[in-house]
Amino acid sequence: MTELTPLMKQYFSMKERYKDAIILFRLGDFYEMFGEDAEKASKILQIALTSRDKSSKEPIPMCGVPHFAADSYVLKLIKAGLKVAICEQMEDPKEAKGIVDRDIVRVITPGTYTPDNPKENVYIISIFPSADKHGIALSDISTGEFIMYETYDNIQDEVYRFEPREILIPQSIHTDIHYQEAFHDFFVSVYEDWYFDYADAYKTLLQHLKVSSLDGYG
């Protein structure tokens, strides 16, 4: 394999951290995409696919969009059911000693993207199974609405009732055919089970709501 340049090493280090996202990598006045991201995004965005280091034996596919128009392109990627990670320049390139420092500053998913004038709910839903019921946390980030409840009802019916933009589930149920069928029509994000730990979640809610107990919330 061709030796990577420092810039490409930096890019692929970001990609390693966000494997399931399209990385928009800031280079001057453009956001560039490379490799498989570029091949996928160029088709969705209908922009030219070129390559970096054309003289190399293994040129890396690339495409780019102007930073000032990035929002419209991000929206197209989100509508295509993709996750987008924005990688910005963290210092002035003119003052950089060596390669410009960059980092991921924002991750955008179908459930966290808010249109300027939302005409419908933008729900993101978290689901965790427990015995014969499911714990559900539902949020509409366009309005701030937040709902928590447990249900014994069919989980697919519950999901279709809200038609969320994104569903968050634990790793332990990701390969379960029952859940795969139930969530087939939706964008699903999978997290390790410890993210759904009851004690940690309870503590987080207390801190967020600035209360000592959740008894008053039903």
The pLDDT tens digits of the residues spanning 201-211 come to 889 989 988 99
**Three-state DSSP class for residue 34:** strand
CATH 3.30.420.110 residue ranges for the chain: 123-208
pLDDT reported for residue 218: 63
With residue 70 as reference, give the H or E element that holds it. helix 70-79
Each residue of 56-68: pLDDT tens digit?
A: 778 899 999 999 9
Confidence at 118, pLDDT banded by 50, 70, 90: low
pLDDT reported for residue 32: 97
The model's pTM is 0.78
Q: How far is CA 197 from CA 45, 85, 121, 192, in A?
A: 39, 26, 27, 10
**Three-state DSSP class for residue 53:** coil
CATH architecture for the domain at 6-108: 3-Layer(aba) Sandwich (3.40)
pLDDT reported for residue 214: 84
pLDDT reported for residue 121: 84
Query: In this model, does residue 50 exceed pLDDT 70?
Result: yes
Q: How far is CA 71 from CA 11, 23, 66, 76, 106, in A?
A: 21, 14, 10, 9, 13
CA atoms in the 13 A half-sphere facing the CB of 209:
15
Q: Are 34 and 50 in contact (CB under 8 A)?
A: no
Confidence at 52, pLDDT banded by 50, 70, 90: confident
Each residue of 73-106: pLDDT tens digit?
A: 999 999 898 999 999 999 988 888 889 999 999 9
Task: Tell me how far apart the alpha carbons of residues 47 and 31 are, in angstroms, rounded to a whole number.
Answer: 13
Query: In this model, does residue 117 exceed pLDDT 70?
Result: no
CATH 3.40.1170.10 residue ranges for the chain: 6-108
Query: In this model, does residue 1 exceed pLDDT 70?
Result: no
CATH architecture for the domain at 123-208: 2-Layer Sandwich (3.30)
Each residue of 157-198: pLDDT tens digit?
A: 999 999 999 999 999 999 999 999 999 999 999 999 999 998
pLDDT reported for residue 11: 95
Query: In this model, does residue 131 exceed pLDDT 70?
Result: yes
175 Cβ neighbours under 8 A, 6+ residues apart: none
Each residue of 136-164: pLDDT tens digit?
A: 999 998 888 999 899 999 999 999 999 99
Residue 3 tokens, joined: 């030796």
Each residue of 6-49: pLDDT tens digit?
A: 999 999 999 999 999 999 999 999 999 999 999 999 999 999 99
Sign, Cα dihedral of 129, 133, 137, 138 = positive
